[in-house]
Structure 1
Amino acid sequence: MASEDGSPAPLVDEAFDYILSRLATSYGQKATHIAKFIAGGLRAEGWFAMEALHYLTNSTASHVLRVEEVRGRSQGEGGFNPDMQVRIGAQSHQLSIKSMPIAGELDHSHYFAAELPSLFQWMNDLKERAALVTIAYPCSMGDEAWSQAVSGAEEQYGVALVGQTDFVVPRPPLPMAKACIALWRHGSMVRRED
């Protein structure tokens, strides 16, 4: 739901901020799992969706949003279907979670050229009701390849990265790595500071 000036309503902004913060914290607490995903080059898409369900249905989350439906790969569906539908205020929103293991030919450019465009188009179709969470590993917000890919996607597809953070993934005896989690919305739903 947008305010009179076309910008997203504060309730929606706060809810998506909460989603990003909560998922970053919960995935960060499971860094040993992420280390195994890195080692195996695993996408673990259903795992990320189920962890999101777990952390977005607790009593604290219920004050911000309500998960109305779970679907997608975690429910055995093939093809694309958003992972969950959440109610924020009086409106339902679609949330999709995309894991991006960075390994070999599956680099940033692969995801942004081959896998994310259809999700960005989905966001364009739904505009205010769609949000995408990406989790790239190993990856850091400070990686030049990540920054360039984000800028290119924002320009080419009209989407906006509304928040991101990264967390440490210990991998003894290997050097530590980081994972980057980001929340995307359609560009028209994001307030730009002049």
Structure 2
Amino acid sequence: MISLGKFIVVEGLEGAGKTTAIATVAQQLQAYQIHDLVFTREPGGTPLAEALRTLVKDSVDNEPLTYQAELLMLYAARIQLVDNVIKPALKAGKWVIGDRHDLSTQAYQGAGRQLDSALIKMLKNSVLGSFKPDLTLYLDLSPEIGLERAKQRGKLDRIEQESLEFFDRVRTRYQQLAQQDQSIVVINAEQSLEKVTAAIQTALSDWLNG
């Protein structure tokens, strides 16, 4: 029986199917007799981080949120979650399944917002140090397909309302980062649900048995 806690993250654009993918990951882990699971989302996951999520996702009295302020709030929310939830869970031998982590910031704020890479690197190193997920499943799909799926869910938040060009930059950065990191597995999220599920199950089994 596998007992050491691990941190698995699911990443992707809006409409990529992260919620369904997370459920698939949980089911696969349980099939391996891994039942002590903790679920997180970013931004969010603690009371303070959830308050910051609301500020990032929705405007406040129509006050424009600067890109730099957005970046700082995301890292503030992240360190609250990592230090107060994720690290204690891992130390206790629990497995953490995360809906987004730092890869999102590298893609959305780094490429989408086109913020200074040196600033993001400095914040990442200061806040996270060497901490990173053990495995990341990146659900890859075109922004056109993803946004159409997101619209079917209901009203779009302020980030989901960004342009296709914004999301094209985000997707390109995700793909670049995945090529540079062997702990990131790319899943074609444009396939049928059955094929996406099978691809996730295969990737997770390969990793667990590796």
* Category of TM-score, reference length = shorter chain: 0.3 to 0.5
- TM-score, scaled relative to structure 1: 0.42
Which structure is higher in strand share?
1
Structure with bigger helix share is 2
Q: Please, what TM-score do these two structures have when normalized by structure 2? A: 0.40
Q: Work out which structure has the larger RCO, using CA pairs closer than 8 Å and 6 or more positions apart in sequence.
A: 2
